[in-house]
Amino acid sequence: MTGITRDEVAHLAKLARLDLSGAELDHYAGQLDVILQSVARISEVAAEDIPPTSHPVPVENVFRDDIAMPGLDRAEVFAAAPATEDDRFRVPRILDEEEA
């Protein structure tokens, strides 16, 4: 079930949007493998017919009353933004160069 390689760590980092350095990839490959081997013990538990628990207090379709409440203050929200332009969040280009 385990045996995580450096390439796999690089792939995970890409999926998780982490621009890891080469040294970090080496370091995490070893550590993630040790952690996964340890947690893999849970496979010893025979649990085929056991229902999974996603949440300790099962609740469904919780609604609150439909009453208008003040939203966040626009100026405060923009004050905390990394970049704004014309009362909007400014973001980097969203297409890669080959797609553009």
Partner 1 sequence: MTGAAADLIRQPASVLAAAISAGEVSSVEVTKAHLARIADVDERVHAFLQVTAEAALESAQVVDAKCKNGAKLGSLAGVPIAVKDVLTMRGVPTTCGSRILEGWCPPYDSTVVSRLRAADMVILGKTNMDEFAMGSSTEHSAYGPTHNPWDLERIPGGSGGGSAAALAAFETPLSIGTDTGGSIRQPAAVTGTVGVKPTYGGVSRYGLVALASSLDQAGPCARSVLDAALLHSVIAGHDPRDSTSIDAPVPDVVAAANRGDVRGLRIGLVKELSGEGYQAGVLQRFNEAVELLQGLGAEVVEVSCPHFDYALGAYYLILPSEASSNLARFDGMRYGLRVGDDGSNSVEQVMSLSREAGFGAEVKRRIMLGTYALSSGYYDAYYGQAQKVRTLITRDFNAAFEKADVLISPTAPTTAFKIGAKVDDPLAMYLNDIATIPVNLAGNCAMSLPVGLSPCDHLPVGLQIMAPPMADDRLYLVGSALEAALADKWGHLLIEEVPNL
Residues that bind partner 1 (CB under 8 A): 1, 4, 8-9, 12-20, 24, 28, 31-32, 34-36, 38-45, 47, 50-57, 59, 62, 64-65, 72-73, 76-77, 79-83, 89, 91-97
Beta strand pairing status for 84-85 and 88-89?
A: antiparallel
Which residues are 96's β-sheet partners? none
CA R_g for the chain:
23
State the nearest-atom distance from the C-beta of 2 to partner 1, in Å.
Answer: 10
State the nearest-atom distance from the C-beta of 87 to partner 1, in Å.
Answer: 14
Contact between residue 29 and residue 4 where contact means Cβ atoms under 8 Å apart:
yes
